[in-house]
Structure 1
Amino acid sequence: MRTIRIIEHISLDGVIQAPGGPEEDPESGFSHGGWAFPHFDEEVGKAIGLAHPDGSDLLLGRRTYDIFAAHWPGQTDAMADNLNNARKYVATSRPDSLMWGPADGLGANIVERLREIKAGIGPDLIVWGSSTLTPVLIASGLADELVLLVFPVLLGKGKRLFSGTAAATELQLIRSKAAPSGVIISTYKPAGPVRTGSF
């Protein structure tokens, strides 16, 4: 059984759009691209390294795949080697255009295909960004871990992690750490439906 781990850079108000650079994703006039960079420190880098071990495969939405494909082939560090060599599983209706490989489209029934992949033998499957795919993974019970790197910024607008599409789900906190830069790194596992009560 393979582990599906979601890693998200997220602002305090839930925005995940374009954390890595100004040109990463300017859709809808988003003008704060690169908001995560000023708060990136050694502890954040260590947390990412632990969450994304060498040899992992990637599981990506199409937009995130395209963003990564435009950036990582031109980089030469250890993370670039990790990502460039990884097998990429991509939610897309255009599998023939997956030039950054090795890459496989997930087909029309994403959940069914991912259940097959997850049941097989292989390395961890790492999800970055992919705000459309992430709620599907959690709602279908496919996500094993959610690693949130919460940055001390408020962005006001931009693509949000769930945008009202997630099923009502509880999460169990596995570990949490504050980096010197103010980034809170928390790892969660899905813990079933939301419970309710009264005070």
Structure 2
Amino acid sequence: MSFLRKILAVTAFLAFSATAIMHTGSAQAADPENTVILTLKDGDVAIELRPDLAPKHVEQIKKLVRDGAYNGVVFHRVIEGFMAQTGDVQYGNADKDYQPGRAGTGGSSYGNLPAEFSKQPFIRGTVGMARSQAPDSANSQFFIMFDEGAFLNGQYTVVGEVVSGMEVVDKIKKGSKSANGSVDNPDRIVKAIVLADRK
């Protein structure tokens, strides 16, 4: 092996090692208490919650996850190239008292939350809190971005980001464009857990 090839081989090895260390470090740095796993029909989606951006919203989502409130809840509004919305624990649970005509209008018994808007942009994989026209009306519903949506920046609370499983999110059944993303026979969250609770 020539001297130049040896140098290239060593350089490639060092680059690979640095990448492996960075990935290992980031995996160890993940906070299980602020990671939610959504099991969907095509696999798991890991969401890193951001208490640094929206502590009240993160706390409410974790309470609902630990209550089992999101289990069985449908993705009632899914728009190709935009986002998939879910989390209506009142009217959107396909396993109990499902009301398709009202899904998307309900919330939880914990009450609405004051907005926690930030400068964090809405990009592919961002998880934001759904709300009505009133800024302080987010409750249990959230959405996952399929693509960038700068028009949402500073107008909706960013609560987290997908850190693995976006290919699963991409497979969520899409809704009708003419009906603002409303989905017939929608996909659902099979189960949601906080990673720290996984046994």
Same fold (TM over 0.5): no
Point out the structure with the larger strand share.
1
- TM-score, L = length of structure 2: 0.27
- Max radius of gyration: which structure? 2
